[in-house]
Structures are given as structure tokens and as C-alpha cells.
């Protein structure tokens, strides 16, 4: 097909006058509807231990909601804190407490330069926290089974300014990578020059399968304890894409020392979390089988949208050299990889055709994709019909970008 043909196809698409926002991985209204019984899930404001959920108190969460997350995350309830509606805010606070006060038994990070390792492509909001708080970031290439561990082990062994690393261990945002047992064991056991090194283990997509098979990742807390580094990992999760995004419940799981540390600092920040929302979620989500059944309903809504994107890409980009895309088994994203230097132009052309994508480069620290070839596709929010059109528009935008 000639450049003129590509341009004509693109222009015909532009005439459709679409207006689609695919910039973030948000659940669709149909997915949110799955949890509507949260609206009347509350039969009482009394918690199991007699706590009046309407009042102040309970920094670490009600016992029943801690027990629920203990079952969901497969950790002892004593090692779980349930607080706020956003796991991202818990991650932010862990970093702030570490910077200003230091992790248990260590000086405040802020007394010296601080560096974080960032597997790329990764979650833009992780990188935004580091950038906003003056933490230097180093890109780590992602392999099919997790980050490049040879590089990670080398860097953490020789550089004491490396205090942490971002991890999305399952169906990573955006690459859909699932960490292997070997990678988990190496992260838990590696020698770090910084004795106060932390793994920010963001288990955001633990239950978000797209395939029939529910893939599992080894327990990082167990691996760290076994390796003699019990305080190394802090696990984060939330019900944002299980129940309601922004109105769910968020949890943190860690060693007893880290839980005590968190509780001390969080007690300064707040007189207690929203326990009414915690109780509602306990009534609604109940237990692991109930959560898994709900996630199966999410899967039924999401899978056709992912399939539609993959089918359009195959039809329209299958013959274009240097173009590839991921086939995720879970999570919220598809990565579209363009030839070097074509991602920004493709995103700009898509925008002119009415499709707003995540800015090219956003999945890299400082928004800089060194090869300008990564585009994050978020198929969850638009309707199936819209997503079909959008995938077509993105593919035509890429073809035109390459033809120019
Ligand atoms: N972590 C990852 C990897 C995400 O992709 C998202 C949302 O897209 C979040 C955390 C946000 O979680 P929360 O709503 O619990 O703050």
C-alpha cells in the first residue's frame, strides 16, 4: 500500500469524528455495576469485635477486613494493614516516612542521595512519586519473566544510594509480565549495599486474569523471610479494580517490624481509616472464592475488548516490519511496540483522529522512552464497539506515521 493510500484511510477514519479517551486503565461502567450491591451491603455499623465503625480509631483496619486481605494475599492477618481507599497513597506514604524518618533501625533516606530501580516499561504514577520526591530513577529492562536480574543484582550490590525498587509482580502495568519463582527468589536474596533497601511490591493485578488459567506468583514475604531479609518487601494491594476504583479499600502487608513502623507513622497522619467502607467491603467481598467469582465476571467483560484490539492489530499491522504487541494473560494493558522513533508521532496522529492515548514515554521514568517506540493501550473503559474502532484508528495512525 502506498503512503497516499495510508493517508486516505487515515483521513476517512478521522471523518468519523470519534472522541475516545483511552489514556488510563479505568474499569468500565459495566464493571463498576458488578459491585452495586455495595450500596446496600451494610447491615450494621458494629464490627465483629464491637468497634463502632462510625467513630474514630483503628489505624490498622478492622479485624475482619484484615482477615479478608490476609486470605486474599495469603499472609498472616497480623502482618496486614488495611487503610484508605488507594494503595498508591500507601506507597507514597511508605516512601515519605522512609525519606523523613528512615525505615526501622536506619537513618532517614533523605540524609543522602536516594535512587530507585525502575523496571521499564512501568507504571507512570510510581515514577511520578519518585520524581516529585527527588528520588533518582534508573531504568531496568524487563524480560519475559521479570526484570533483568543480572543487572539488578550488580547495581544493588555496588551502589548504596539504591534504596528501593518498584515491582508489579503479576500482569505488570503495562507489559503484563508475570514474575517467575527464580526472579522472586533472587530479589529476596540479593545482596544490597544499602541495608535499608525496600522492594515496593505492588500486587495491583493479583486477581485480574484474562486467560482461563489463574497464574500465581511466589510469595515475596515468605521468600524474603527465608532469605534472612524479612523486612525487605512491602506488599500493596487494593480493591480498586475489584469493586470500585477510588472507593475501594487498600492494604499493605509486611513483616511485623514494618507493620509496627507503619502503624506508628500512620497514627500521626490520621485518627483512623474509613471503617464503614471496610465493613461494606467485608460484607460484599466475603472471602477468596467470592472475590474470584467476581473477578471472573470482570474477565468476561474485559476479555472481548482485549481480543478485539489484538484482532485489529493482527489484521492491520501484522505485515508491518518492526511492529509487535503483547498478548497479556491478565492486567489492564496491551503494549504496542513501534519501530524506533515512531511512538510519539503515532500518539499525536491518534489524537488528531479523536483517540486520546497515554502520552508516549509515560511508562518510563521522566516520561522518556529512550527509543520512542512504546505505546500503552488501555482497552478496559470504552465499549466493545468503541474499542474496535479505536484499535483500528491506532493501527492506521501507526501505519501513517511509518509511511511519512
Ligand atoms: N498500582 C498499579 C500498578 C496500577 O496500575 C494502579 C492503577 O492503575 C494502581 C496501583 C492504583 O491503585 P489504587 O487505586 O489502589 O491507588
Q: What is the DSSP letter of 26?
A: P
User: Which whole-number Å values give the CA distances from 375 to 170, 308, 364, in the listed order?
Assistant: 20, 17, 11
- Name which residue sits closest to atom 11 of ligand 1, judged by CA: 88
ipTM, two decimals, is 0.99
Burial class (CB in 10 A: 0-12, 13-18, 19+), 286: middle
Domain range 42-286, CATH architecture: 3-Layer(aba) Sandwich (3.40)
CB 373 within 8 A of CB 341: yes
Q: Is the shortest distance between the CB of 200 and ligand 1 below 6 Å?
A: no
Per-residue pLDDT of the chain (404 residues; tens, 9 = 90+): 777 888 899 999 999 999 999 998 999 999 999 999 999 999 899 999 999 999 999 989 999 999 999 999 999 999 999 999 999 999 999 999 999 999 999 999 999 999 999 999 999 999 999 999 999 999 999 999 999 999 999 999 999 999 999 999 999 999 999 999 999 999 999 999 999 999 999 999 999 999 999 999 999 999 999 999 999 999 999 999 999 999 999 999 999 999 999 999 999 999 999 999 999 999 999 999 999 999 999 999 999 999 999 999 999 999 999 999 999 999 999 999 999 999 999 999 999 999 999 999 999 999 999 999 999 999 999 999 999 999 999 999 999 999 97
CATH architecture type of domain 3-25+292-403:
Alpha-Beta Complex (3.90)
Rounded Cα distance between 114 and 130, Å, is: 9
Q: Is the CB of 235 under 6 A from ligand 1?
A: no
Closest residue by Cα to atom 6, ligand 1, is 204
The three cell numbers of residue 362 are 509515560
Atom of ligand 1 nearest to the CA of 87: 15
Asked if residue 141 lies in contact with residue 176, where contact means CB atoms within 8 angstroms, the answer is: no
d(CA 297, CA 236): 23
Q: Which ligand 1 atom sits closest to the C-alpha of 241?
A: 14
All CATH 3.90.1150.10 domain ranges in the chain, comma separated: 3-25+292-403
Q: Is 172 in the pocket of ligand 1 (CB under 6 A)?
A: no
CATH 3.40.640.10 domain span(s) along the chain: 42-286
Amino acid at each position: 500500500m502506498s503512503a497516499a493510500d495510508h493517508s486516505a484511510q487515515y483521513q476517512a477514519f478521522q471523518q468519523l469524528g470519534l472522541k475516545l479517551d483511552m489514556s488510563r486503565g479505568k474499569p468500565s461502567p459495566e464493571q463498576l455495576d458488578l459491585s452495586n450491591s455495595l450500596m446496600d451491603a451494610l447491615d450494621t455499623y458494629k464490627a465483629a469485635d464491637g468497634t463502632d465503625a462510625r467513630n474514630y480509631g483503628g489505624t490498622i483496619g478492622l479485624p475482619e477486613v484484615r482477615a479478608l486481605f490476609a486470605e486474599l494475599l495469603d499472609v498472616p492477618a497480623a502482618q496486614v494493614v488495611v487503610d484508605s481507599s488507594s494503595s498508591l497513597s500507601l506507597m507514597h506514604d511508605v516512601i515519605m516516612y522512609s525519606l523523613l524518618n528512615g525505615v526501622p533501625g536506619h537513618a532517614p533516606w533523605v540524609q543522602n542521595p536516594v535512587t530507585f530501580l525502575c523496571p521499564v516499561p512501568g507504571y507512570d504514577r510510581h515514577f511520578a512519586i519518585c520524581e516529585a520526591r527527588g528520588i533518582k530513577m534508573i531504568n531496568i529492562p524487563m524480560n519475559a519473566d521479570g526484570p533483568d536480574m543480572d543487572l539488578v543484582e550488580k547495581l544493588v550490590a555496588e551502589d548504596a544510594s539504591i534504596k528501593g525498587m518498584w515491582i508489579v509482580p503479576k500482569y505488570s502495568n503495562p507489559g503484563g509480565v508475570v514474575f517467575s519463582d527464580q526472579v522472586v527468589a533472587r530479589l529476596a536474596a540479593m545482596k544490597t549495599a544499602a541495608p535499608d533497601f525496600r522492594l515496593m511490591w505492588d500486587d495491583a493485578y493479583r486477581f485480574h486474569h484474562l486467560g482461563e488459567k489463574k497464574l500465581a506468583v511466589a510469595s515475596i514475604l515468605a521468600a524474603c523471610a527465608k532469605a534472612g531479609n524479612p523486612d525487605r518487601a512491602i506488599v500493596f494491594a487494593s480493591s480498586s479494580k475489584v469493586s470500585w476504583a477510588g472507593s475501594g479499600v487498600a492494604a499493605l502487608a509486611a513483616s511485623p517490624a514494618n507493620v509496627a513502623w507503619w502503624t506508628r507513622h500512620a497514627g500521626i497522619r490520621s485518627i483512623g481509616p474509613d471503617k464503614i467502607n471496610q465493613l461494606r467491603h467485608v460484607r460484599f467481598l466475603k472471602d477468596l472464592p467470592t472475590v474470584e467469582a467476581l473477578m471472573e465476571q470482570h474477565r468476561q467483560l474485559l476479555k472481548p475488548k482485549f481480543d478485539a484490539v489484538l484482532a485489529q492489530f493482527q489484521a492491520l499491522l501484522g505485515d508491518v516490519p518492526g511492529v509487535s504487541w503483547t498478548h497479556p494473560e491478565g492486567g489492564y494493558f496491551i503494549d504496542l511496540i513501534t519501530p524506533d522513533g515512531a511512538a510519539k508521532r503515532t500518539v499525536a496522529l491518534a489524537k488528531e483522529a479523536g483517540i486520546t492515548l497515554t502520552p508516549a514515554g509515560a511508562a518510563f521514568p521522566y516520561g522518556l522512552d529512550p527509543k520512542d517506540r512504546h505505546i500503552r493501550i488501555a482497552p478496559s473503559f470504552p465499549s466493545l464497539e468503541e474499542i474496535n474502532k479505536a484499535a483500528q484508528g491506532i493501527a492506521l495512525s501507526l501505519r501513517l506515521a511509518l509511511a511519512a
